[in-house]
């Protein structure tokens, strides 16, 4: 069983690899298949180390995750002004290829205009005051699961909500980020030899049912126009995942139709969770690759928002199988590897000293 320190490194490096590898496929005009992704990684693996080194850039997914980590470590917990300032100031100097979501920069600019005094309002006013449900909450949330490793899932929920609401206040964005955070949190604790994918889904279902019920039962939310399918969408998607895990023949088309591969939380976060769980179960469709490698290859093969689905799946898979499951040749390709390694160590030290 991978040691905890290795799982911390695995989760952050796994997230980085998902983003860097996935970003290479984001705007490809051709249909993506697992064998095309395998061809891509094989070319990288065969490159000379000096050609490989930092040859793949990271995007907004990593840039914002680093902002979360730095702020949590520096402030020893959540500090909204500090985290917001880090998000925005990074964005203002980042090259265009970091490709942020199309609306979230409006939040950064509003914060800056207020000299980082008015943090809450800009996110709430997004999308005609419904708030964003983009997957930008989930893509950066893995460090919250590491940070609360020795605490309760309720503490994780509190922290995940605060980090997410800085930019994403739609309930589907908030619940989605928690689903991703809880998946990493559970994966960090899971033992491979006794692991049951169904039990993992049941644990997630219990949490999501509680919070989705709580939201829809609250009087002030009754007029928010979310029908019961929408307000319980994560519970519903977790049921779909369970039914997929019972079958060996689920095609990529069916996964995309039922779970999605888009930029919204609801159409990408359950997909990332499934990419990990399927890779635990199915050791044959992508042969000669370990579970971590299968997760990344499969997540990207689903096309669509490839960097973000792979970054979320990679964070879960790395937490489960640990850093030793991630090929060194893959790690070396990524810009940002040193930071991910160092931060994972600092988070591990912080958590174990508590
Ligand atoms: P965001 O808050 O701008 O949301 C992303 C998108 O989600 C928006 O542009 C909208 O299309 C849609 N959206 C969110 N909330 C609503 C709503 N209430 N009503 C209608 N539409 C809504 O940014 P974010 O940080 O959530 O975005 C993260 C994603 O953008 C990640 O995939 C990241 O990698 C990046 N990105 C994705 C792509 C892609 O097409 N795959 C391309 C470039 C950047
Ligand atoms: Mg494409
Ligand atoms: Mg991105
Ligand atoms: Mg993306």
What residues does ligand 1 touch, defined as CB less than 6 Å away?
A: 26, 59-61, 99-104, 127, 130, 132-136, 139, 170, 263-264, 305, 307-308
126 vs 29: CA distance, rounded Å: 30
175 vs 191: CA distance, rounded Å: 26
Q: Hey, is 131 helix, strand or coil?
A: coil
The whole-number pLDDT of residue 231 equals 83
pLDDT in tens, 275-309: 999 999 999 999 999 999 999 999 999 999 999 99
Give distance in angstroms: CA of 90 to centre of ligand 2: 27
Pocket test for ligand 1, best of 101, 172, 310 (most atoms within 8 A of CB): 101
Counting from 1 in the atom list of ligand 1, the atom nearest the Cα of 134 is: 26
Cβ atoms of 269 and 138 within 8 Å: the answer is yes
The whole-number pLDDT of residue 201 equals 98
Q: Which residues make Cβ contacts (< 8 Å) with residue 287, sequence separation at least 6?
A: none
The whole-number pLDDT of residue 229 equals 67
- Residue nearest atom 19 in ligand 1 by C-alpha distance: 127
The whole-number pLDDT of residue 225 equals 63
- Residue nearest atom 35 in ligand 1 by C-alpha distance: 101
The whole-number pLDDT of residue 79 equals 98
Q: Tell me how crowded residue 152 is: count the other CB atoms within 10 A of its CB.
A: 10
Give distance in angstroms: CA of 40 to centre of ligand 1: 26
| Helical residues (DSSP H) of 94-220, grouped into ranges | 104-113, 120-124, 126-129, 142-147, 153-165, 171-189, 197-217
ipTM, two decimals? 0.96
Q: Classify each residue of 336-345 as buried b or exposed e, where b means 16 or more C-beta atoms within 10 Å of its C-beta.
A: bbebbbebbe
Pocket test for ligand 1, best of 19, 98, 104, 134 (most atoms within 8 A of CB): 134
99 vs 285: CA distance, rounded Å: 32
pTM above 0.95, yes or no: yes
- Residue nearest atom 34 in ligand 1 by C-alpha distance: 308
The whole-number pLDDT of residue 117 equals 97
pLDDT in tens, 25-60: 987 788 899 999 999 999 999 999 999 999 999 999
The whole-number pLDDT of residue 223 equals 63
Counting from 1 in the atom list of ligand 1, the atom nearest the Cα of 59 is: 34
- Residue nearest atom 5 in ligand 1 by C-alpha distance: 134
Residues in the chain with pLDDT values less than 70:
223-225, 227-229
* Residue carrying structure tokens 């979501």: 101
């Amino acid at each position: 069983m991978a040691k905890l320190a290795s799982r911390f490194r695995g989760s952050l490096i796994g997230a980085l690899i998902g983003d860097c590898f996935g970003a290479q496929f984001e705007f490809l005009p051709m249909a993506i298949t697992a064998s095309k992704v395998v061809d891509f990684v094989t070319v990288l693996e065969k490159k000379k180390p000096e050609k490989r080194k930092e040859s793949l850039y990271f995007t907004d997914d990593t840039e914002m995750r680093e902002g979360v980590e730095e702020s949590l470590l520096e402030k020893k917990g959540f500090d909204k002004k500090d985290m917001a300032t880090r998000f925005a100031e990074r964005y203002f100097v980042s090259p265009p290829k970091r490709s942020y979501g199309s609306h979230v920069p409006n939040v950064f600019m509003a914060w800056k205009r207020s000299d980082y005094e008015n943090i809450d309002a800009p996110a709430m006013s997004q999308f005609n005051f419904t708030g964003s449900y983009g997957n930008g909450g989930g893509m950066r949330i893995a460090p919250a699961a590491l940070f609360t490793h020795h605490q309760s899932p309720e503490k994780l929920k509190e922290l995940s909500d605060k980090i997410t609401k800085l930019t994403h206040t739609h309930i589907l964005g908030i619940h989605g980020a928690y689903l991703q955070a809880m998946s990493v949190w559970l994966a960090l604790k899971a033992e491979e030899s006794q692991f049951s994918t169904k039990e993992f889904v049941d644990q997630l279902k219990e949490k999501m049912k509680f919070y989705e019920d709580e939201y829809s039962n609250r009087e002030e939310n009754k007029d928010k126009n979310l029908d019961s399918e929408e307000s319980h969408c994560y519970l519903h998607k977790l049921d779909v995942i369970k039914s997929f895990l019972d079958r060996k023949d689920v095609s990529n088309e069916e996964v995309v139709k039922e779970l999605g591969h888009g930029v919204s939380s609801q159409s990408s976060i359950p997909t990332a969770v499934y990419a990990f769980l399927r890779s635990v179960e199915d050791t044959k469709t992508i042969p000669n690759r370990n579970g971590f490698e299968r997760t990344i290859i499969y997540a990207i093969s689903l096309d669509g928002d490839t960097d973000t689905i792979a970054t979320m799946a990679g964070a879960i898979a790395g937490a489960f199988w640990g850093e030793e499951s991630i090929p060194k040749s893959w790690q070396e390709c990524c810009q940002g590897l040193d930071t991910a390694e160092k931060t994972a160590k600092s988070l591990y030290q912080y958590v174990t000293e508590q």
